Structure 1
């Protein structure tokens, strides 16, 4: 274990393990010259090459105590032995590791198949998997060989911020775990191919008894899969070849409930940028935006995007100051953030179109002076990707702001500002504000953070996301636990594919959690003057962990118009026990003041029909489509 720690934290030179040498790349205090043939990415980036033995590779990628932020890259080549692929119990010489938190593994090929892994890069959980965050796989081909699993199967038991991009997995994916109490809350799979099936487990409650403990939600887009098994809260697919048919809604006299929301195409996509090696030179490929797409596409051609030389990037280490980073941005440089925590006493100011800020190994930007972490002006084509944002000390008004606002919001339909895998959890009144038009956000978890000791009456942690721009698209979003509204949508032409929301855990009491005369706050508020909006695949879940029997008057508050459409909506109350008993309360209605309540008190502490159709929820309701003609006929009120 001591040797493994040294791999991630060595100050320079090389490390010898069992007589073999591992190269470790080390950085200067704040930045290094962008040598594109042998770049120095700092002490928390490890690069694996085919000359290394499997023993050496497994030592280099093994979990490290303390879960430091780290990036592991594989150069093009084949790694590990495939000899045990038909009987994993006999496998030897495979590449095999559990990914701990804050670990990102990627291939440096132009195509995923340029890096072939025989073995398993897997995620396990002994009990609940609701905390298996922050680990990713990118641009790899995997021939899954995992001892303890079926042949050609790899386990990936995760909840949020554990995304797959450009993955070619030649087999099945086990998204479950036989261990008791193993719940999970999903993941994002994008631009990938999985030749086998994905299994989330069967969580359906029936008259015969409860369902299994399952992975509650998943979003898969622009991919190809060999099949999908299981039932749970909601499974959303857009542009996925091999996806199950659209089937979402409550049980009927003829069939059971449906949990699948399936779209033929994804309305707007722009894949995340990635680092690769081209004839010995490191480059960053930045994809273009596309509309109405399906299936995976891994080609690096001018139709799909452009390659940027490493010399166009400032390679930053965590000791870099906000002043230094902003100076480099002002010079026209892009930023490559190596793993670690960057304490910023001022926000990064992005005012050049097409600027790229890209993180490695879960790099984090912390706003330390209450001024926010990232501010993008009214310029199009900016790409923010693969880093986290936090806030400490004085609360910021906003942590991430896209567009400065005003009458001329900027933005480009063909070249939208794009935010991919940027996760936010920090001390702020509002976590994120989108003022620019045509922004695309793909794969994001936004939640309260750093609020220990903050009074309920303090404005910190009030709002999650506010969208003021028109024609803004979100795909794959979790937004959770803000004191007031999780997501407020003021712009026209918005579209969302997959949205999960949760109210705050700890409102002190119902009288202290009121929105004027209304109980609580909606998790999603569509402004009264919005003319058009569409959402496919929505979930809202309550879990009041301090004993408050609290209700929100509705999960979604929206104008009822024919061009504001919701497809595949569920709301529930999470069953898991809390101090002093089980969680109670819920939503008085899902939409406005329509329909029945989602009330955990009706069957508190249980998960069974007729109150819940999914294990893990005391109560839940499903709606296939809103509004119906009947809803439009009476204005959306009872």
Structure 2
């Protein structure tokens, strides 16, 4: 997401210390290679999650808990491209009081989660927040949330209390974030939730985001450009900027006046499955709850008791750390174990193979798999019920053909899949470049049918610490070095995406070849960095690549709430023909789509030659189409 100003729009243990850095450790598949000692036995009452997981007990003095959270936040609040990864987990109980609230900030690569079977089992009085980063004037100016990525909060109850904060800070719980940030299974009350930070100097821009399975107070959308709220309850919603989507949300605003405001509201979510979550049962045993998939859903899953699904004892997982070999991990998966990736950065030189039906791969604290020697970090078989969640996958310095492959290509759509038990990807994020040079042909390839993608950010970095110099902000070097041609390719039929964010790839960002695909919120930025128009022209002479491409032979496809943004900062004269491309036909429906110019470059049309140009005469002013094909 752009870091440039945009036009205004309106009781188990407490870790004694926090490890605030972790080096990438290359894991190998060779027998006998050096590696960390595998963890063969798991204590169900006290599993060893490694040094980067802090488990907090309500018997711990509040000032101790506060100090832990403050130390972690101070270390991570500016650590955008660091290798540190952390989870802070709260055991069931109450934390903070009205007179002495617990107030925490959440920095990069940090997960804050409750360990209750219900969100109400962990009751926090206070605030859990993300503020703007002020990037100029010694931390006093150019304050925004456009690069507030990679953090998670889930499975707890929050009674908002700003006691001791100044008047503005005390006015809401601030969650000023952008992509790769999720809020799940929350019960928030006692004050407003603001998705922007209006307490700092300007410009206060934000570009998120995702909420699911949560009960929320009044929400101030503020400067958030786009947002998906799915299967939740809201007391109210204040406004919209470009593209706010509500799916299966009780209390969602009506969208009849689109695009003023630009709301897109679905009464029910077509296909949903909530993300697996770690919890502690009444006897103190750890387990993972895996919610079941559902269709036609609305509201929260925990309103009337336990979220429907199945429980997997922690002893059925292999608990991995950086340094465990891929051979060790794959041997455990082949024998029926599930995989829990503890926080850290894993160098992966051969594929993790997830083959058995109903296998769960769950990452903690933004566990990150980095491709080594051109490997494909994860391959998922055509088998029902596999879930991959909470994992970040990075391209390495040698090009990988794919970073995550779901199903084998050309398999004729394997019949092993089950529409009632879809393969599911939840909070799975991808990066090509940013913290280091990255190269991948395609980030995510989906070949299986009946796959659910529930919140992903697929990012070819528009900025980073690679040291590029040539071009505007090093963009010419970036274009030639951080090569990522396609973000997402969907070949399977009946694939659903709820929260699909894909940015900056060098050809089509998303290509949908399968039939009966459905996307609920799509957000895309075209690449900033093409050096010339020739670099951004197709072999057939078409100017540029659409941000969302439904293949010409597809007969049925539906998109609700989509946006394609242009900011060709490296060469503002570059032109893109269409933001979206799709075949014509009765089975094609693109509902509430838009393009917008962020200050450089041009998109001539919204879709298929229809819609006015998003150019520098309408900076920040979206060009909307209510429906395509036109009525």
Deviation of the 1:371 alpha carbon: 1.9
**Distance in 2 (alpha carbons) for counterparts of 1:490 and 1:106:** 37
2:239 matched residue in structure 1: 230
**Aligned: 1:44 with 2:52:** yes
**Distance in 2 (alpha carbons) for counterparts of 1:249 and 1:534:** 18
Deviation of the 1:627 alpha carbon: 1.0
SS in structure 1 of the partner of residue 561 of structure 2 = strand
Structure 1 alignment gaps of length 5 or more: 12-26, 84-92, 202-213, 251-256, 576-582, 603-610, 630-638
**Distance in 1 (alpha carbons) for counterparts of 2:534 and 2:171:** 55
Aligned partner (choices 406, 414, 427) of residue 421 of structure 1:
427
- Name the TM-score, length of structure 1 as normaliser: 0.85
**Aligned: 1:472 with 2:475:** no
Aligned partner (choices 232, 235, 252) of residue 243 of structure 1:
252
**Distance in 2 (alpha carbons) for counterparts of 1:153 and 1:503:** 34
Aligned partner (choices 523, 537, 541) of residue 561 of structure 2:
537
CA contact (8 A) 1:368 1:394 kept: yes
Deviations 1:275-297 (A, max 9, x none): 00012100000011000100001
SS in structure 2 of the partner of residue 469 of structure 1 = coil
1:435 matched residue in structure 2: 447
**Distance in 2 (alpha carbons) for counterparts of 1:556 and 1:10:** 42
**Aligned: 1:137 with 2:153:** yes
2:589 matched residue in structure 1: 565
Deviations 1:35-67 (A, max 9, x none): 110111100000000111110101122214254
1:409 matched residue in structure 2: 414
Q: 1:480 to 1:234 in 2, by over 3 A?
A: same
**Distance in 1 (alpha carbons) for counterparts of 2:192 and 2:372:** 44
Q: 1:159 to 1:277 in 2, by over 3 A?
A: same
**Aligned: 1:9 with 2:12:** no
2:269 matched residue in structure 1: 266
1:187 matched residue in structure 2: 209
SS in structure 1 of the partner of residue 534 of structure 2 = coil
**Distance in 2 (alpha carbons) for counterparts of 1:459 and 1:315:** 32
Q: 1:459 to 1:130 in 2, by over 3 A?
A: closer
Aligned partner (choices 128, 144, 147) of residue 128 of structure 1:
144
Correspondence 1:261-300 to 2 at 5 A: 261-278=264-281, 279-298=283-302
CA contact (8 A) 1:396 1:429 kept: yes
2:138 matched residue in structure 1: none
Deviation of the 1:97 alpha carbon: 1.5
Deviation of the 1:457 alpha carbon: 6.1
**Aligned: 1:622 with 2:592:** no
Aligned partner (choices 114, 117, 121) of residue 114 of structure 1:
121
- Name the TM-score, length of structure 2 as normaliser: 0.85
Deviations 1:359-386 (A, max 9, x none): 1011001111212111011211110001
**Distance in 2 (alpha carbons) for counterparts of 1:401 and 1:150:** 44
1:23 matched residue in structure 2: none
Aligned partner (choices 539, 547, 571) of residue 547 of structure 1:
571
Deviation of the 1:151 alpha carbon: 5.8
Structure 2 alignment gaps of length 5 or more: 1-13, 22-34, 135-142, 433-438, 469-476
**Distance in 1 (alpha carbons) for counterparts of 2:209 and 2:480:** 33
SS in structure 2 of the partner of residue 226 of structure 1 = strand
Deviation of the 1:164 alpha carbon: 0.6
**Distance in 2 (alpha carbons) for counterparts of 1:28 and 1:507:** 43
**Distance in 2 (alpha carbons) for counterparts of 1:32 and 1:424:** 30
Deviation of the 1:231 alpha carbon: 2.7
Deviation of the 1:249 alpha carbon: 3.9
Deviation of the 1:511 alpha carbon: 2.1
**Distance in 2 (alpha carbons) for counterparts of 1:274 and 1:106:** 9
Q: 1:120 to 1:456 in 2, by over 3 A?
A: closer
**Distance in 1 (alpha carbons) for counterparts of 2:59 and 2:221:** 37
Deviation of the 1:459 alpha carbon: 9.3
2:66 matched residue in structure 1: 58
SS in structure 2 of the partner of residue 518 of structure 1 = coil
Correspondence 1:1-400 to 2 at 5 A: 7-9=17-19, 29-31=37-39, 33-62=41-70, 63-65=73-75, 67=79, 68-83=84-99, 93-125=100-132, 126=134, 127-146=143-162, 147-148=165-166, 149=168, 153-170=172-189, 171-178=191-198, 179-194=201-216, 196-201=217-222, 214-247=223-256, 249-250=258-259, 257-278=260-281, 279-298=283-302, 304-400=308-404
CA contact (8 A) 1:8 1:64 kept: no
* Greater relative contact order, per chain length (Cα 8 Å cut-off, separation 6+): 2
Aligned partner (choices 580, 594, 598) of residue 574 of structure 1:
598
Deviation of the 1:266 alpha carbon: 0.4
Q: Matched residue pairs, number? A: 561
Root-mean-square deviation over aligned CA pairs: 2.2
Aligned partner (choices 484, 499, 508) of residue 485 of structure 1:
508
